[in-house]
């Protein structure tokens, strides 16, 4: 019975992660997010397409998906899932966001969902990474660069603070951080070429 519960837990984590909140919000505003800006379904492109407030809502909802997978779903299942099982569920949530079954296995880059996952599993590392993201963003105005720096820091801090709790915490955080960085490979190329869009206060454009 427990194995069935565990499988259902992982499937539920994936399906929650797969909910394309950005696409839904933009569609309700009459915009096909996949045909605007970068075509990404994440919060940054929502800002570009329908406004800052809707982008912030998208980020919060996408982050909630990752947090729900590791912190809320176990409560609903009324099971004491181990830390390693919750880690797997968090990975499924991020994979759901990046390869959503609801939109032909396409999706976003996983920054917000990964952030929610990190908050639920490694809150100290997540808090420090968020602070660094804010500092990096207001210093550079590059969302992509700030995201890359913050997830890299999160992986480093997870090795410092959480390896004794379970070695799989820093391993999983590092792998997910690496995947998020890889998802930003086009942004990295533009950053190196000096062609990456900055978040302009007037134009409100950026790339994530």
Return the domain boundaries, the chain: 2-193
Q: Which two tokens stand for residue 176?
A: 């997910």
HSE-CB at 208 with a 13 A cutoff on CA atoms is 26
Residue 204: the pLDDT is 42
The 8-class DSSP code of residue 102 comes to G
* 143: pLDDT strictly greater than 70: yes
pLDDT tens digit sequence for 41-100: 999 899 989 999 999 999 999 999 999 999 999 999 887 899 999 999 999 999 999 999
* 112: pLDDT strictly greater than 80: yes
Residue 19: the pLDDT is 97
pLDDT tens digit sequence for 29-41: 999 999 988 888 9
* Mean per-residue pLDDT of the chain: 90
Residue 205: the pLDDT is 42
Could you tell me which residue, 203 or 104, shows the higher pLDDT?
Answer: 104
Distance CA 47, CA 58 (A): 9
145 contacts: CB under 8 Å, gap ≥ 6? 136, 187, 191, 196
Residue 203: count of CB within 10 angstroms of its CB? 10
* 141: pLDDT strictly greater than 80: yes
Residue 162: the pLDDT is 93
Distance CA 55, CA 33 (A): 12
Residue 72: the pLDDT is 94
Alpha helices in 19-82 (DSSP H): 21-28, 43-50, 52-67, 73-77
Closest CA to 172 of 158, 160, 153: 158
Query: 208 falls in which pLDDT band (50, 70, 90)?
Result: very low
Residue 2: the pLDDT is 61
Query: Measured between alpha carbons, how far apart are the two ends of the chain, in Å?
Result: 42
Residues in the chain: 208
48 contacts: CB under 8 Å, gap ≥ 6? 36, 37, 38, 55, 204, 205, 206
């Amino acid at each position: 019975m427990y194995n069935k519960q565990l499988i259902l837990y992982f499937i539920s984590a994936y399906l929650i992660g797969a909910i394309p909140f950005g696409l839904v919000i933009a569609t309700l505003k009459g915009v096909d997010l996949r045909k605007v800006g970068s075509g990404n379904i994440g919060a940054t492109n929502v800002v570009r397409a329908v406004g800052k407030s809707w982008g912030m809502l998208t980020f919060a909802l996408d982050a909630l998906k990752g947090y729900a997978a590791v912190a809320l779903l176990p409560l609903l299942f009324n099971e004491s899932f181990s830390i390693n099982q919750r880690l797997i569920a968090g990975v499924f949530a991020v994979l759901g966001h990046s390869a959503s079954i609801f939109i032909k296995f396409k999706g976003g880059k996983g920054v917000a969902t990964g952030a929610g996952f990190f908050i639920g599993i490694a809150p100290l590392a997540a808090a420090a990474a968020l602070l660094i993201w804010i500092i990096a963003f207001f210093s550079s105005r590059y969302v992509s660069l700030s995201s890359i720096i913050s997830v890299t820091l999160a992986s480093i801090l997870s090795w410092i603070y959480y390896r004794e709790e379970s070695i799989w915490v820093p391993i999983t955080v590092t792998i997910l951080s690496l995947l998020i960085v890889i998802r930003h490979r086009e942004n990295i190329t533009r950053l190196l070429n000096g062609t990456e869009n900055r978040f302009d206060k007037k134009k409100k454009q950026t790339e994530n």
